Structure 1
């Protein structure tokens, strides 16, 4: 059933009818701008902030929980899917072109909030200097529960498509490879947080390491911006996982493995999934994944270059919190070099303006020392 919001002009349509017991769902928003507009390369920060602000306005208690860094995040967002091209130091969106934006919920609490919110869906997504009109909002990942995922039928293989750059953290570095233990650990963390059916992590991952193999893949790597600060090297493409014969004969975890594979589309893979990274879909496809726009790639490379410089310097001087500070300095300076104001950078990073100003000065001074 399609519902139309009332009492507003040019309101989008939305489809938000799903069972009350739903714990997972994926939505697709169709967005359009009436004129050509430009957005900054890290615009997913704005999408993330806009969605959380919608939660804050309607459910402050849920908003506080979503800002809590102590648990896995029960939602994901994508970047915009559509024609974005580099235009100077920004990205250009074209008038009357449809852009798709995906949002998923991984817990009953967030699903319930979405159901209420969609009954009075805002008319636009307010991205800085680029208001995007919401045309429609539709369910694209079927409403389901964790128990239904666990009890669903499965085959002998599991294929996944990684449609936005995906990366893992390993020993303080980024790992842009679909190593089975890393991939399924990513899903298991969400499963243990939200399913109500937690599984012993060490035991399951040891089983994955022993019995799960990659039977084919087609992947590529690229540098990309990583949420509020920093850059990562991530991979995109398709991967097919299979179980060895011994695993099939000892099937204690087989059902769970395939349930986690189905969960992947809802929860994403790896880190920074609430800023557009790690978007994942079921099934094999050789469809070419869109390249990262040149301006975004350039900014990501510059942030990575500066991070390495500042990290090396702070290690020599015995600086504390080396990685975190180096990443902040690099992000601030790189974005300033791209022409963004320090005030805007401070707002995006949620750091006081005076602190950002100080970091920028220290970063410039550090470069002269180098």
Structure 2
């Protein structure tokens, strides 16, 4: 029998000059970048939009089709990005980087084509992450998680319980609102949705989630919630912290679903939890790591921006003749985001670039929103 390939431990530094960076069969990879600021830069509240845009521009430079797929895909995206974690200055309301300090950023790929694209990118990696007003030097690239395959995850050893730590705000969409709680059905639905999309090992979603409802229970949790401005528009109420799930009750499908329960728990650090994971939300670690985890800091200015966006969104929805449906909600969130950011001093050029809309459209939204506020 051939020997099993040696495990690559998280934290192992990549040799970017090596012929192959990970085993050829790899379908999931997690990359951790150590970034250094040479000055005490100030991050703007929605800086994760900049990380998202910079990453897609990097992929576009050598594979426009892959970049377009990652940007425009209607279904779940086959990648996710974290925000920055590390030591920040707390002397101002903004998120202040400290000169000479190291900050971590994670990029995860969830399919073979994306993993191949990441390998190609690393071979021509630039020296700096060109984040707006805060260029960060890339000093080291290591594995955030062991490179693996869906088949290996499907065969993980079940345990007695499953603990997950949510290191960035995490939320779900439920009936048009945010659900800032790690309710088992929502948590495992978010993993299974991605699993069924990317693993080529489809599972009966309804049957498994009904089993989760019946058999997965909370054993322990330590959670906090906060509202932040996340993604291109709108605000999100999310939770951070840790939870331990256990199993109770027996069903005919217990063995099959119990295996899937642990498999999806091990999938979580790669795929993230909940929505807007490509903008830093829902970053997840396997195990209870509250003492060791470095939470991704949220600027006070971002919380203030989120509160203002939420306030304006509610106002604009109430002003519209049609208050139901996604179009009214999306329109209200866009107006609110544009106006709230203008109130904070952001330029229309920057807002248009972040939202991916023409400058003239952003200008029109700003005028309409101000006119609506003045009544």
Structure 2 runs not aligned, ≥5 long: 1-12
Cross-structure match for 1:360: 366
Counterpart Cα distance in 2 of 1:145 and 1:341: 44
1:44 maps to 2:56 = no
**Residue 89 of structure 1, CA deviation:** 6.7
Output aligned runs, 1:60-99, within 5 Å. 60-85=64-89, 90-99=94-103
Counterpart of 1:117 in 2: which secondary structure? helix
Q: Is residue 248–residue 254 contact of structure 1 (8 Å, CA) maintained in 2?
A: no
Counterpart of 2:228 (choices 221, 224, 229) is 224
Counterpart of 1:302 (choices 287, 304, 308) is 308
TM-score, normalised on structure 2? Answer: 0.91
**Residue 120 of structure 1, CA deviation:** 2.1
Structure 1 runs not aligned, ≥5 long: 6-13
Q: How many pairs are equivalent?
A: 361
1:197 maps to 2:201 = yes
Counterpart Cα distance in 2 of 1:61 and 1:290: 31
**Residue 69 of structure 1, CA deviation:** 3.1
Output aligned runs, 1:197-276, within 5 Å. 197-247=201-251, 250-276=254-280
Counterpart Cα distance in 2 of 1:319 and 1:202: 25
Counterpart Cα distance in 2 of 1:88 and 1:50: 26
Counterpart of 2:154 in 1: which secondary structure? helix
Moved more, 298-307 or 77-86: 77-86
Counterpart of 1:118 (choices 122, 128, 132) is 122
Counterpart of 2:169 (choices 162, 165, 171) is 165
Counterpart of 2:319 (choices 291, 299, 313) is 313
Q: Is residue 14–residue 143 contact of structure 2 (8 Å, CA) maintained in 1?
A: no
**Residue 72 of structure 1, CA deviation:** 1.0
**Residue 39 of structure 1, CA deviation:** 2.1
Q: Is residue 26–residue 142 contact of structure 1 (8 Å, CA) maintained in 2?
A: yes
Cα RMSD of the aligned pairs, angstroms, is 2.1
Cross-structure match for 2:7: none
Cross-structure match for 2:332: 326
TM-score, normalised on structure 1? Answer: 0.92
